[in-house]
Each structure stands twice: as C-alpha cells, then as structure tokens.
C-alpha cells in the first residue's frame, strides 16, 4: 500500500504501526532480517538530516539495501516524466520513499505503480513525522483523550497531525495567526478532533503536549521577514509552557530556530522530548515500511 497521507492509515493500522514501532525500539533484533535483502529507493528533492538518516539506517537495520538518489541525479519532471521514473523504479525496487516539493509528484508516482510509495515530506503533508510524533506521545501517556496544542504555522506538519489525532483518539488545538491556518480540507477531515484557537495561551491551557514548527518552511524563504512579524506572538516560551498541564511535554520536528518559534530553554527543559522524537523517526519509518510492504502482520 502507499502512504502519501496520514489519512491512508485507518485507526486500526495507526494502532498497529505505533505499537510495532515501540516494539522495534525495545526489541530491534527481532526485526533484523525483516526486509530479507530487498532494495528500497530513497529519493530526495529537498535537503534532509533526520529523514535521510532514519530511512537509510532503518532499511539497513532490517537487512535491506537502501539506494539513495537525488533530484539532481535523475531529474523527475525535468529529465523524465514522474510516471516513467516510477515504472522503471518498480522493476528494481520493493518500495520507494520520497521527499519532494510538490505533493502532485507523489500522486503521479502512486498512480503509475503498484510498488509502495511513501511520503517523506511534501508541501501538503509530513505523515512519517506524524507517526514518530504519535510514537513519542505514546511513550509518555495514553493517546486516548490526549490534548495536543500546536502553536504556529498551519503547514504540512500541522496537516498530518490533524489527521493523526483524528485516528488515534487525540484532540488537537491549532493556534495560528490569521491567514496561516491549516488548509480547510484538513480541518474538515479532522472533524471533532480539531479546534482552531487564535490565542496561543488559550490553546496551550491544560494541554498534555505542546508542539511547534518553523515559521518559514523550505521554499517560503522569500517571505521570512513578513512571517517573523506575523508570528511574533506565537513563540513557545517557558511562560507559555507553564500554562500547559504540569506533566506536559514539548515537541518540535526540528530544525529549530531559537530566536523564532521556540526559546532554547524550552528545548533544553525537562519537558522537552525533541531528541526522543528525532530518534523515533527511525522506529516509525521501519514500522511504516513493513506495513506498506504488506508485512504488517508478520514478525
């Protein structure tokens, strides 16, 4: 199966994928031959640290072969049509995971191949990050009834978190400046699990998890100055964290900007789980990959 959106996994699959990721973290040797020598393509059109390392290491840890290619090397959409590239890749690979600019590239790949296509990030969503986020929250507390406060840009990360919350029993409050809210179709898809709260202090009040992301995503750098002005009241500080539940944790998908969306003392605080979250990208990807390869029920 493909995993282009957090909505591609049902509630049942979300539960299974999160449980397996936690088991992989605790018992990695039990999955050390899970790929059985299969080759997995990793395509990057954007810079990457956590995504690139976690996917490469994840394939290796399950006895697979990771083949990393970049946009500069193969020219998807410039040198060759995405549909042609996908049909060539499926002759060599068991699956391909892709970090792209436009979500349409993933869609075209998925429409032209039966080989599993996994979204490592697009302009619409970041579903693998959402799985790692849910795994990190599950390590801290039961998912059912968890209140997650997301403060900042209603971007691809926020979109996938909304869909993840709706499927895992969490409630999510999104606090964004006017004009930076999540896309309406994602808010609608979240149903009763999502609430838009303009005031960040109100959004964070009593929350079990406080989450933020960069104010300016890759590709929007030309608007960075305007965004700094628009988001000035949406910075996560220790004072804002104090409004959350006394046992609340802080999450950030990284990279972080200390002078913008979050204060350094929050990242370094006892509430911070950002580096556990980064590690969990590895376990999440491994679990997602097995699910997409129809190995979800095997061990």
Report pLDDT digits (tens) over 246-287: 999 999 999 999 889 999 999 999 999 999 999 999 999 999
Judge whether 281 counts as a catalytic residue: yes
Could you say which of 20, 71, 129, 273 is catalytic? 129
Nearest to 171 by CA among 194, 190, 187, 154: 194
State yes or no: pLDDT of 91 exceeds 50: yes
Structure tokens at 19: 């449980």
Could you say which of 123, 133, 153, 213 is catalytic? 213
Q: Is the CB of residue 5 less than 8 Å from the CB of residue 125?
A: yes
Could you say which of 20, 50, 281, 283 is catalytic? 281
Answer yes or no: pTM beyond 0.85: yes
What is the rounded CA–CA span in Å between residue 58 and residue 40?
A: 10
Q: Give, in degrees to the nearest 5, the angle at Cα 140 between 234 and 167.
A: 75
**Which ranges in the chain are annotated with CATH 3.40.50.1370?**
6-125+281-292, 127-278
What is the rounded CA–CA span in Å between residue 238 and residue 146?
A: 21
The CATH architecture one would assign to domain 6-125+281-292 is 3-Layer(aba) Sandwich (3.40)
Each residue's pLDDT tens digit, 6-38 = 999 999 999 999 999 999 999 999 999 999 999
Across 132-146, average pLDDT: 99
What is the rounded CA–CA span in Å between residue 277 and residue 229?
A: 29
What does the pLDDT read at residue 296? 53
Q: To the nearest 10°, the Cα dihedral for 100, 105, 110, 116?
A: -20
Judge whether 252 counts as a catalytic residue: no
Coil vs helix vs strand at 114: coil
Coil vs helix vs strand at 186: helix
DSSP labels, 191-209: GGGEEE-S-HHHHHTT-SE
The CATH code belonging to domain 127-278 is: 3.40.50.1370
Could you say which of 50, 99, 208, 235 is catalytic? 99
What does the pLDDT read at residue 79? 86
Judge whether 159 counts as a catalytic residue: no
Q: To the nearest 10°, the Cα dihedral for 40, 46, 47, 53?
A: -20
What does the pLDDT read at residue 152? 97
Judge whether 253 counts as a catalytic residue: yes
Percent of the chain at pLDDT exceeding 70 = 97
- Comparison of pLDDT for 282 and 78, the residue scoring more: 282
């Amino acid at each position: 199966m493909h995993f282009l959106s957090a909505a591609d996994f049902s509630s049942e699959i979300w539960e299974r994928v999160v449980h397996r990721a936690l088991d992989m973290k605790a018992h990695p040797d039990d999955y050390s031959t899970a790929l059985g020598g299969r080759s997995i393509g990793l395509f990057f059109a954007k810079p990457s640290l956590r995504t690139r390392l976690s996917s490469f290491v994840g394939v290796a840890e399950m006895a697979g072969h990771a083949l990393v290619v970049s946009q500069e090397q193969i020219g998807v959409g410039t040198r060759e049509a995405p549909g042609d590239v996908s049909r060539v890749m499926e002759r060599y690979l068991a699956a391909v995971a892709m970090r792209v600019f436009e979500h349409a590239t993933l869609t075209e790949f998925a429409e032209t191949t039966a080989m599993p296509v996994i979204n490592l990030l697009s302009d619409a969503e970041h579903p693998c990050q959402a799985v790692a986020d849910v795994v990190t929250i599950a390590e801290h507390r039961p998912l059912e009834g968890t209140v997650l406060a997301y403060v900042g840009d209603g971007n691809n990360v926020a979109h996938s978190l909304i869909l993840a919350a709706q499927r895992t029993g969490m409630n999510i409050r999104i606090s964004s400046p006017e004009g930076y809210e999540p896309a309406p179709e994602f808010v609608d898809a979240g149903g009763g699990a999502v609430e838009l709260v303009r005031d960040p202090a109100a959004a964070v009040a009593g929350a079990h998890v406080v989450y933020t992301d960069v104010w300016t995503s890759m590709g929007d750098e030309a608007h960075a100055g305007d965004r700094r002005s628009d988001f000035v009241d949406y910075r996560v500080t220790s004072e804002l964290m104090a409004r959350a539940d006394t046992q609340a944790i802080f999450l950030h998908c990284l990279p972080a900007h200390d002078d913008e969306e979050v204060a350094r003392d929050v990242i370094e605080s006892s509430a911070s789980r950002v580096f556990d979250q980064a590690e969990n990208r590895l376990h999440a990807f491994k679990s997602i990959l097995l699910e997409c390869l129809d190995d979800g029920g095997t061990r």
